[in-house]
Structure 1
Amino acid sequence: MRISHNFPAFMINNTLQKNVKASSSSLEKLSSGLRINKASDDAAGLAISEKMRAQIRGLNQASRNVQDGISLVQTADGGLQEITDILQRQRELVIQGLNDTLTDEDRRKIDLELHQLTDEIESLSNKTQFNTINLLARDDYRVLADRSSSNSDFLVSDPPPVTSINTSIVYKPRGTPEEARHMISSSDTSETTHTFTNTNSITPIISPDGTEGFNEYNVDTLTTTKTDTNITVYESLTAVDDPEYSKPVYVYSVGMNKTSFGPKNFNDGYGTLFENIEVNGSSREVVYTSRSNPGSDPAFDYMVFHGTNLAIMRYRTILADNSMEIKYVINNRDSFDSNINLSNSINPPTNSVITDAGGSPMANGNIIINPPSGSSFNMTGTEANAGIQFDDSLGLSPTELSINNPAAGQPQINFDWQLTVPSGSSVTLGFKYGPFSLNYDVFELTHETVETKHIETTVNTDITDIDYLPPKLIIQAGANEGETIVIPLFNVGTQWLGIQNIGLSPPSIPEQALAKVDGAIEKVLHYRAAYGALQNRIEHTLKNVDNSAENQISAESRIRDADMAKEILNLTKSNMLTQAAQAILTQANQNPQAVLQLLKQ
């Protein structure tokens, strides 16, 4: 037995210390919730965990960065939306102003609104900011290449003269001489027109260093055309020897009981005839069921009357002596006799002097001749002559004839038939109008218009062809270097959009305004499309960053967090072993007491 060294106690004490240490470690892990509280717990695990923690914190901050980027893009798009609305209103005003129903004063009022809207676009582009960063009026572009150019072409054109010739038949007093081709008028006018076209495209490019940029290709073409026009009118007068232009023809007025007599192209030259009919004391509307074309020879007109079975066939025939025979055949198909009053009124040729068959002038005033049968009269006018004859051989002569022959003014011959037509019978009435003769000579009038133009065309072409890098904002969208998103910033000021001088009144060119506004709308829509696509990309980036952070947190937890159930098990085990070691150590410490028992003996 040894008392200097209690080896069992030493061994048990070491075991006790290990159990105490294990118990302390479990308590530390249970109290902190971490499996790794210090490097000695798991050196490699601690290193991995800290790297993951750096990634997690970086991803969380990147998520906030990306959200800021989305807000910035939304702010820029909101400004572009308002500018788009203004441009649409400007386009509407321009289309309104191009309507020629407006006066110059109306267009000036439209210009007032156009200019105010232009100023507001400029103001909006300068005021749209995010955290004091201007988004829509950037002028710090980096130009990579500029192939822009301007060109002006001047063209002169003298097209062949355009001649139009119209001929017509005219009647002139006898003795009028022919006229050779001569100028009767000449006028000069000048007109300036403008035509404007615009093409615009913005194409993404990659600069030599790999940076994303854009190529803007814009072509403005203004064509100014000045047209000086001279219109000279010539006339000539050539005599026509054609009997067709003295032969009498008649022309009726559709829907009226008026007939015009005259040679070809001179409708009223030989006078006019008005007809009216009364049946049984009432005027009746005439209905033409059929009739020959005006100017036909012989000609017919078939007339009926509402409310009656009365019909009249009227015949007109040109005779060899250049007169016209006019007959009426009245048929009464009613079951009773009909009282007919057919009244005619003739206006002789213009400024006629009426003479009887013997050549004696008729007295002035209203002259009544009864009976008219066998009567004939001549009418000599300044333009034409005519006669009128009443003879029973042509059918019944009128029952009454009156001549209104004023001392000054146009004479008139009135005659009518008042008769009874028995039921089922017919009666023929007639008179002869003519012979006709013309006091005018016939000419062909040639009207010649010669239009000569001198055209000066100026074509100004301005080409903008620029490769550029717009200013940009870089969004740190990840936890590591190089994980970025670039947001380009554009300029939508009025000068960059090309609308700073649009208007409808001088010195602005109205024709240019519509194309310029269309080009500005197209450019703004391109920027909005770029921002829309970029926002969709950023939103996907945000989702990916959040997903990555979530997965990293889960992975880091598995490395660093304590398994509470396992640690509780370890603690329980350590405590039990500690208690057992303590009990055994007590026994080991009692072994030296046995030596004292030997000494007592």
Structure 2
Amino acid sequence: MIITHNLVANNSLKKLQEHSKTSSNKLEKLSSGLRINKASDDAAGLAISEKMRGQIRGLEQASRNIQDATSLIQTAEGGLNEITNILQRQRELIIQGLNDTNTDQDRQKIDEEIRQLTKEIDSIASKTEFNTINLLARDDYDIIATRPSNNTVDSINDPPPVSTIHKTISYKPIGTPEEPRHLVSSSDTSVTSNTHSITSNITPIILADSRNGYNEYTVETHTTTKTDTNTSIYEALTLLNDPQYSEPAYWYSSGMNKTSFGPKDLGSIYGAMFETVELNGTTRALEYTSRTTPGTVPAREHMWFPGTSLSITRFRTVLPDNSMEIRYEINNRDAADANFTLKNVLDPPSGSVISDANGNPLLTGNTTIVSPSGSTFNMVGSDANASVIFDDSLGFASPSELTINNPAGAQPQLNFDWDLTIPSGSTVTLGFKYGPFSLNFDVYESTTETEITQHIETTVVTDIQDTDFSPKRLVMQTGPNQGHSIDIPLFNVNTVQLGSNNIGVLPPVIPDQALAQTDGAIEKVSNYRGVYGALQNRLQHTLNNTTNASTNLTSAESRIRDADMGKELLELTKANILTQATQAMLAQAQQSPQSILQLLK
């Protein structure tokens, strides 16, 4: 037993100090919420955590940078959008000015608006800024390479002559001589036309020094076409012996029992006939139940009369003597329909003079002949001639009465009718002969030939501008480290660069060329907008990635530096209990020297 050193108390004191330190450390972590409050807590962890914090704060700032870059691009694209709207309006005005319904005064007003809009494009380009940085009127381009070229191609085209032939039938006085193909007229015209086109394409490229740049490829084409045209008209007149133009023909209109007589294309030059039917004193409507195909000889039409048992078959036959036989076969199947009258009205050829079979002209006025069987009348017209013959020898009954109306200086007319009693079940055949016919003309084929000969000279001038350039760029820091950046190019869209500074609709400007220049400007601005649109989409993905990286790094840094509150609270409780136990043992350790003092009494 010793009293110089109280080793038990010393050991208890040492443990008390350790437990107090542990308790203090846990209280610090619980108070701050951090597992690492000083380097001694976790030196390596602290170093890793601080690097992560630098990355996290860099990412958060990069996110703000990306949003600023997006705003800058939106500002530039907004200006380009308005410039596009102006170019579209200028194009609309140019098309309006090309229309010849406008007067010179109208075009002056159109031209003034175009020029004011041109000034506004330059104004927008110079005033579109972001944080005082000009975006659309940059002239600090770095031209890397330019490869201009010019090519002119001349061509001559002499296409084969084109002939258009038009043939008609002409009726001319007998003995008119034929005319061989001969030139009637010739005329020369010359027309010069110009067309213009401009195409422009801007493509991202990698320059020779590894920088990002662009290639601008613009093709401007002017085509001048001069067309010399000779139009020659030839005519010819040829005598025809084609029967279809000299022999009789006939046709009818549905619903009108009217027959027109004449060769092809001459209508009713031989006259016309109209038929009506009376049954028991009443005029009856007729209907056709069948007709032969046109051109059939004899032609046959079957007619019937609604509400009756009466039918008529009419035959019309062209005879060898150039006349026509008109025959009716009338069939009755009902005694109530026995009283039948067929009335015909015949208009002879135009301007006819009527004479009898002996050539004696008929008297002016009305001539009535009862039972005209055996009668022949000749009709000599101004353009054609015909005869009408009523003769029982033809094999069928002649009309019962004929009235010839022969007014002085007017068109004559023949009215004849058959009054019949047709018993039920009986068939009666009647008719007459009309003709022979003759023309007072010879038939010719008139040919008109239009021959067009052209000589076409075409000149195509092609200007190509092929330029590699690096525009002024704004570097956007889009990440937490060096090199994490995206470049935003700044373009020049004033009217000089767009090639639309001198467009209009008044001389010396050529409206067609101005239209092409406007199309080229629209295409160029659309290319720039495409670049900005692609960059904006890229920045959106960059922002999403930066946000994700910041979130994930924050989570990782939290796992390193943040305290596990449950675990730390458990450790604190444990340290407190040990501290209390150690304090009790320290008190017990103080009793050992006291026991030695009792022995010394």
TM-score range, shorter chain: 0.7 to 0.9
Indicate whether 1:455 and 2:466 are aligned: no
**Residue 483 of structure 1: how far off its partner (Å):** 0.9
In structure 2, C-alpha distance between the alignment counterparts of 1:168 and 1:428, rounded to whole Å: 41
Within-5 A mapping of 1:79-478: 104-105=101-102, 130-131=130-131, 133=133, 140-191=140-191, 201-240=201-240, 245-253=245-253, 255-280=255-280, 281-294=282-295, 296-334=296-334, 336-394=336-394, 395-478=396-479
**Residue 548 of structure 1: how far off its partner (Å):** 2.8
Letter in 1 for 2:287: V
In structure 1, C-alpha distance between the alignment counterparts of 2:181 and 2:193, rounded to whole Å: 35
In structure 2, C-alpha distance between the alignment counterparts of 1:310 and 1:495, rounded to whole Å: 94
**CA 1:346 to 1:42, structure 2 compared with 1: closer, same or farther past 3 Å?**
same
**CA 1:131 to 1:587, structure 2 compared with 1: closer, same or farther past 3 Å?**
farther
Deviation digits for residues 506-557 of structure 1, max 9, x if unmatched?
A: 966679959975x777766666665555444433333332333334334444
Over the residues paired in the alignment, what is the CA RMSD in angstroms?
4.9
Q: Which residue matches 2:572?
A: 568
Q: Would you say the 8 A contact 1:118–1:499 is kept in 2?
A: no
**CA 1:442 to 1:51, structure 2 compared with 1: closer, same or farther past 3 Å?**
closer
In structure 2, C-alpha distance between the alignment counterparts of 1:491 and 1:330, rounded to whole Å: 98
**CA 1:402 to 1:199, structure 2 compared with 1: closer, same or farther past 3 Å?**
farther
Deviation digits for residues 101-151 of structure 1, max 9, x if unmatched?
A: x97359x89989996997688877777655455556656544433334343
Letter in 1 for 2:145: A
**Residue 47 of structure 1: how far off its partner (Å):** 3.9
**DSSP-derived class of the 2:268 partner:** coil
Letter in 2 for 1:478: G
Letter in 2 for 1:455: I
In structure 1, C-alpha distance between the alignment counterparts of 2:575 and 2:112, rounded to whole Å: 84
**Worse-superposed segment, 194-203 or 472-481:** 194-203
**DSSP-derived class of the 1:104 partner:** coil
**Worse-superposed segment, 160-169 or 424-433:** 160-169
Letter in 1 for 2:477: Q
Deviation digits for residues 163-222 of structure 1, max 9, x if unmatched?
A: 333444422112323334333333445555566666665443222233333334444545
Deviation digits for residues 412-441 of structure 1, max 9, x if unmatched?
A: 222222333332212122112122222222
**DSSP-derived class of the 1:552 partner:** helix
**CA 1:227 to 1:542, structure 2 compared with 1: closer, same or farther past 3 Å?**
same
Letter in 2 for 1:423: S
Letter in 2 for 1:542: L
**Worse-superposed segment, 354-363 or 133-142:** 133-142
Letter in 2 for 1:549: S
**Residue 500 of structure 1: how far off its partner (Å):** 7.6
**DSSP-derived class of the 2:209 partner:** coil
Q: Would you say the 8 A contact 2:19–2:576 is kept in 1?
A: no
**DSSP-derived class of the 1:542 partner:** helix
**Residue 566 of structure 1: how far off its partner (Å):** 6.8
Letter in 1 for 2:441: Y
In structure 2, C-alpha distance between the alignment counterparts of 1:261 and 1:28, rounded to whole Å: 130
**CA 1:496 to 1:82, structure 2 compared with 1: closer, same or farther past 3 Å?**
same
**Worse-superposed segment, 381-390 or 273-282:** 273-282
In structure 2, C-alpha distance between the alignment counterparts of 1:75 and 1:226, rounded to whole Å: 48
**Residue 476 of structure 1: how far off its partner (Å):** 1.2
**CA 1:276 to 1:89, structure 2 compared with 1: closer, same or farther past 3 Å?**
farther
User: 5+ unaligned residues in a row in structure 1: which ranges?
Assistant: none
Q: Which residue matches 1:487?
A: 488
Letter in 1 for 2:569: A
TM-score, length basis structure 2: 0.78
**CA 1:466 to 1:356, structure 2 compared with 1: closer, same or farther past 3 Å?**
same
Within-5 A mapping of 1:533-552: 533-552=534-553
Q: Would you say the 8 A contact 2:204–2:212 is kept in 1?
A: yes
**CA 1:335 to 1:403, structure 2 compared with 1: closer, same or farther past 3 Å?**
closer
Sequence identity percentage: 56
**Worse-superposed segment, 341-350 or 179-188:** 179-188
**Residue 481 of structure 1: how far off its partner (Å):** 0.5
In structure 2, C-alpha distance between the alignment counterparts of 1:111 and 1:20, rounded to whole Å: 94
In structure 1, C-alpha distance between the alignment counterparts of 2:466 and 2:548, rounded to whole Å: 44
In structure 2, C-alpha distance between the alignment counterparts of 1:112 and 1:41, rounded to whole Å: 80
Q: Would you say the 8 A contact 1:309–1:333 is kept in 2?
A: yes
Q: Which residue matches 2:61?
A: 61
**CA 1:257 to 1:127, structure 2 compared with 1: closer, same or farther past 3 Å?**
farther
TM-score, length basis structure 1: 0.78
In structure 2, C-alpha distance between the alignment counterparts of 1:494 and 1:339, rounded to whole Å: 98
**CA 1:18 to 1:267, structure 2 compared with 1: closer, same or farther past 3 Å?**
closer
In structure 1, C-alpha distance between the alignment counterparts of 2:573 and 2:549, rounded to whole Å: 34
In structure 2, C-alpha distance between the alignment counterparts of 1:512 and 1:336, rounded to whole Å: 90
**CA 1:12 to 1:249, structure 2 compared with 1: closer, same or farther past 3 Å?**
closer
In structure 2, C-alpha distance between the alignment counterparts of 1:242 and 1:9, rounded to whole Å: 154
Q: Would you say the 8 A contact 1:278–1:284 is kept in 2?
A: no
**DSSP-derived class of the 2:548 partner:** helix
User: 5+ unaligned residues in a row in structure 2: which ranges?
Assistant: none
Q: Would you say the 8 A contact 2:195–2:512 is kept in 1?
A: no
Within-5 A mapping of 1:24-63: 29=29, 31-39=31-39, 44-63=44-63
**DSSP-derived class of the 2:336 partner:** coil
Deviation digits for residues 338-366 of structure 1, max 9, x if unmatched?
A: 44332222222232222222222222233
Q: Would you say the 8 A contact 1:22–1:574 is kept in 2?
A: no
**Residue 19 of structure 1: how far off its partner (Å):** 7.4
Q: Would you say the 8 A contact 1:129–1:135 is kept in 2?
A: yes
**CA 1:253 to 1:96, structure 2 compared with 1: closer, same or farther past 3 Å?**
farther
**CA 1:481 to 1:284, structure 2 compared with 1: closer, same or farther past 3 Å?**
same
Q: Would you say the 8 A contact 1:146–1:467 is kept in 2?
A: yes
**Residue 480 of structure 1: how far off its partner (Å):** 0.7
**CA 1:276 to 1:130, structure 2 compared with 1: closer, same or farther past 3 Å?**
farther
**Residue 90 of structure 1: how far off its partner (Å):** 9.2
Q: Would you say the 8 A contact 2:382–2:440 is kept in 1?
A: yes
**Residue 284 of structure 1: how far off its partner (Å):** 0.9
Deviation digits for residues 268-308 of structure 1, max 9, x if unmatched?
A: 332222333344413313315122424x4433333233333
**CA 1:399 to 1:72, structure 2 compared with 1: closer, same or farther past 3 Å?**
farther
**CA 1:46 to 1:97, structure 2 compared with 1: closer, same or farther past 3 Å?**
same
Q: Would you say the 8 A contact 1:86–1:117 is kept in 2?
A: no
**CA 1:543 to 1:341, structure 2 compared with 1: closer, same or farther past 3 Å?**
same
**Residue 11 of structure 1: how far off its partner (Å):** 7.0
**Worse-superposed segment, 218-227 or 440-449:** 218-227
In structure 2, C-alpha distance between the alignment counterparts of 1:404 and 1:368, rounded to whole Å: 9
